[in-house]
């Protein structure tokens, strides 16, 4: 690679797939030249200055070693927002937007001042997308990682959503007072079983292990969260939780055992059962 190569040549001579090379190059064009992504085409004869070219080489070699693009760029789009991410947090996945949609559908139906709880917020993706789309909702987002909470708070600040979201340090419900109750609880907990080979492949190798696996069967965090729903939901309140593509039956069963009613499964854009929701009974305050 030499600094005199045009953008077109940089992409075609790059060892990365062209779509990835374009993403990295667009990032550098923005950063060093304040140029939009379209410059990849409109200015394809241009070459990078020495500094930008050195950075190009460094970004390409990081990606060649397998580092996820989101960590290299330090950001990831999710639902209608952009989040800052680093290796202290899980990279938000498109399939998790399903939880945001389930929560927003419920919020629209309720049409009043609503309290939402996001357990294991990571980068803040779920809580902040809900806050951004529903300005009257107030949220509590918990995480047991101080590192993750720091990133989530920074994201809340950049998105101007600090007024709407309170961040608490603690494992699942541990940071809440016993009397707290919510209209909606959402969570994308770690649900990959500890022996699952995916943990040692691709992007997942770079993500925080505690955000991916429960170090057990994959169901233990889902179990804790579902078991606490009755206490922390208002009567009639809804819990929606993400799970693995093969955990739907188990999660539905856990919800029924926990006394939740109106248990439903939800399918993601890839066609997998990806989330389940259930409700606390409105009349008795206990499900049947
Ligand atoms: N959906 C993620 C994956 O399969 C896992 C995230 C999680 O465990 N919540 O890569």
Residue ranges of domains in the chain = 7-65, 87-279
Pocket test for ligand 1, best of 68, 78, 90 (most atoms within 8 A of CB): 90
Q: Can you tell me the distance from the alpha carbon of 196 to that of 205, in angstroms, rounded to the nearest whole number?
A: 12
CA angle 74, 75, 79 (to 5 degrees): 165
CATH fold, domain 87-279, is Rossmann fold (3.40.50)
pLDDT value for 283: 78
Spacing of C-alpha 254 from chain mean position: 23
Over residues 99-124, the pLDDT tens digits come to: 999 999 999 999 788 999 999 999 99
Closest CA to 86 of 155, 132, 30, 169: 155
Residue 288: pLDDT band by 50, 70, 90 thresholds?
A: very low
Residue 287: pLDDT band by 50, 70, 90 thresholds?
A: very low
**Ligand 1: centre distance to CA 186 (Å):** 15
pLDDT value for 4: 86
pTM: predicted TM-score of the whole model, two decimal places: 0.94
Longest dimension (CA), the chain: 73
Contact 1, 57 (CB under 8 A): yes
Task: Write out the two tokens for 48.
Answer: 């990078």
Please give the mean pLDDT across all residues of the chain: 96
- Asked if pLDDT for residue 175 goes beyond 50, the answer is yes
Over residues 20-55, the pLDDT tens digits come to: 999 999 999 999 999 999 999 999 999 999 999 999
- Asked if pLDDT for residue 286 goes beyond 80, the answer is no
Contact 252, 263 (CB under 8 A): yes
Q: What is the mean pLDDT of residues 155-171?
A: 98
Angle between helices 97-110 and 125-133 (to 10 degrees): 40
Contact 11, 25 (CB under 8 A): yes
Give the position, in ligand 1's atom list, of the atom nearest the Cα of 96. 1
pLDDT value for 2: 65
Contact 72, 62 (CB under 8 A): yes
Pocket of ligand 1 (CB under 6 A): 93, 188-192, 204, 212, 242
Q: Can you tell me the distance from the alpha carbon of 168 to that of 171, in angstroms, rounded to the nearest whole number?
A: 9
Tokens 């940071």 locate to 175
pLDDT value for 116: 98
Q: What is the mean pLDDT of residues 190-216?
A: 97
Spacing of C-alpha 138 from chain mean position: 19
Pocket test for ligand 1, best of 220, 244, 273 (most atoms within 8 A of CB): 244
Give the position, in ligand 1's atom list, of the atom nearest the Cα of 212. 8
- Asked if pLDDT for residue 1 goes beyond 80, the answer is no
Q: What is the mean pLDDT of residues 201-218?
A: 97
- Asked if pLDDT for residue 256 goes beyond 80, the answer is yes
Q: For ligand 1, atom 9, name the residue with the nearest CA.
A: 190
């Amino acid at each position: 690679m030499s600094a005199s190569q045009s953008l077109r040549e940089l992409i075609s001579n790059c060892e990365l797939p062209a779509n990835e090379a374009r993403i990295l190059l667009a990032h550098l064009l923005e950063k060093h030249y304040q140029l939009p992504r379209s410059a990849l085409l409109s200015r394809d004869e241009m070459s990078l200055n020495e500094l930008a070219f050195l950075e190009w080489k460094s970004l390409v070699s990081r990606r060649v070693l397998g580092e996820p693009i989101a960590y290299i760029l330090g950001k990831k789009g999710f639902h209608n927002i952009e989040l800052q991410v680093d290796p202290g947090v899980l990279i938000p996945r498109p399939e998790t937007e399903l939880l945001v949609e389930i929560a927003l559908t419920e919020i629209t139906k309720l049409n009043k001042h609503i309290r939402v709880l996001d357990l294991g917020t990571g980068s803040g993706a779920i809580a902040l997308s809900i806050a951004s789309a529903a300005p009257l909702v107030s949220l509590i987002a918990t995480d047991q990682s101080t590192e993750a909470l720091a990133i989530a708070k920074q994201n809340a600040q950049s998105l101007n959503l600090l007024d709407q979201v309170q961040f608490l340090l603690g494992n699942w419900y541990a940071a809440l007072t016993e009397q707290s109750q919510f209209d909606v609880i959402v969570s994308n907990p770690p649900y990959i079983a500890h022996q699952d080979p995916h943990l040692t492949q691709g992007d997942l190798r770079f993500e925080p292990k505690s955000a991916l696996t429960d170090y057990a069967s994959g169901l233990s965090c889902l179990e804790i969260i579902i078991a606490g729903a009755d206490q922390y939901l208002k009567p009639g309140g809804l819990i929606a939780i993400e799970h693995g593509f093969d955990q739907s039956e188990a999660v539905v069963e856990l919800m029924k055992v926990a006394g939740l009613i109106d248990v439903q499964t939800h399918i993601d854009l890839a066609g997998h059962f990806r989330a389940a929701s259930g409700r606390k009974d409105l009349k008795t305050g206990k499900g049947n």
